[in-house]
Amino acid sequence: MEPPKVFEIENLSSFYGAKQVLKKVSLPIYEKSVTSLMGPSGCGKSTLIRCLNRMNDLVGNFRMEGKILYKSKDLFSKDVDVTNLRREIGMVFQKPNPFPKSIYENIAYGLKIQGISNREYLDGVVEESLERAALWEEVKDRLRESALSLSGGQQQRLCIARALAVKPRVILFDEPCSALDPIATAKIEELITELKQNYTIAIVTHNTAQAARVSDHTAFLFLGDMIEFGTTAKMFTVPKDKRTEEYLTGKFG
């Protein structure tokens, strides 16, 4: 049985000024599963994932056509509170970007700006978020140290913990491992597969092997077109489109 859809992207086209980046892209993103957006540079995958929590609103010359439904409602409707939306739909970026504050403050920050100051509650959330991001054991004795003292892989897990602290439903990952070594990458991938039990996940990657390992569904984009969408197992064994086959076998990209 098909799981419920958290996002329904319908005929989405997007433009930066006159330049069209996405061309009538349609795909679902299913609840509590991992969906990869894969394709060579310039295919529009990052633009697409940034539409999902309206990050592109901040880009001056950005324009879009088509529709994105989030929980069956128009994501771009006027009554959507974008701040709340981004709390529900967290994002982890390519380069780990912890705040220049302590490990503890990095996690508690999102709650503090919401006005939560109960120490006991904050402590609980910090511990729980770090646990879920598989970082607690490594940092529990140094929570007051600067987040910048952590390794790149730890910083990235801290950013995941920070996203988890505000209790999101969806986490978007934009090339989360491209700045990490293979061991740190393996840890993040393992974490993503664990997180999907509780969260809906979309991940942008140009690393086909990573899409294969972590995701349940994969969308292959090429020059702004969505070439193919399907279960990862099928796409990586018998892709339907010749261009997907050629991309996966390294003929281009």
Half-sphere exposure of 179 (CA within 13 A, CB side): 15
Minimum CB–partner distance for residue 237 and another protein (Å):
5
Number of Cβ atoms within 10 Å of the Cβ of 183:
8
Q: Taking CB under 8 A as the rule, does residue 116 contact another protein?
A: no
Q: Does 251 bind another protein (CB under 8 A)?
A: no
Which amino acid appears at position 218 of this protein? T
Q: What mask of x and - would describe binding to another protein in positions 201 to 230, judged by CB under 8 A?
A: --------x--xx-----------------
Nearer to another protein, 113 or 233 (CB): 233
Closer residue to another protein in complex, CB, 104/236: 236
Q: Residues 233, 240, 249, 251: which binds another protein (CB under 8 A)?
A: 233
The count of residues interacting with another protein (CB under 8 A) is 10
CA–CA separation, 108 and 139 (whole Å): 15
The reply on whether position 59 binds another protein by CB under 8 A is no
Nearer to another protein, 116 or 233 (CB): 233
Q: Does 37 bind another protein (CB under 8 A)?
A: no
Rg, C-alpha atoms of the chain: 18
Q: 75 to 104, contacts with another protein by CB under 8 A?
A: none
Residue from 53, 102, 232, 244 that binds another protein (CB under 8 A)?
232
Reduced to 3 states (helix: H, G, I; strand: E, B; else coil), residue 24 is strand
* Residue found under tokens 């940092």: 139
Give the one residue of 63, 190, 242, 251 binding another protein; rule: CB under 8 A. Answer: 190
How far, in Å, CA of 226 to CA of 66, rounded? 14
Based on the shown chain and the rule CB under 8 A, indicate whether residue 249 belongs to the binding site for another protein.
no
Q: Cα–Cα distance between 240 and 249 in angstroms, integer?
A: 14
Dihedral sign of CA atoms 129, 219, 44, 8 in order: negative
Structure tokens at 65: 């056509």
Spatial contact of 126 and 165, defined as CB atoms under 8 Å apart = yes
Among 24, 193, 207, 246, binds another protein (CB under 8 A): 193
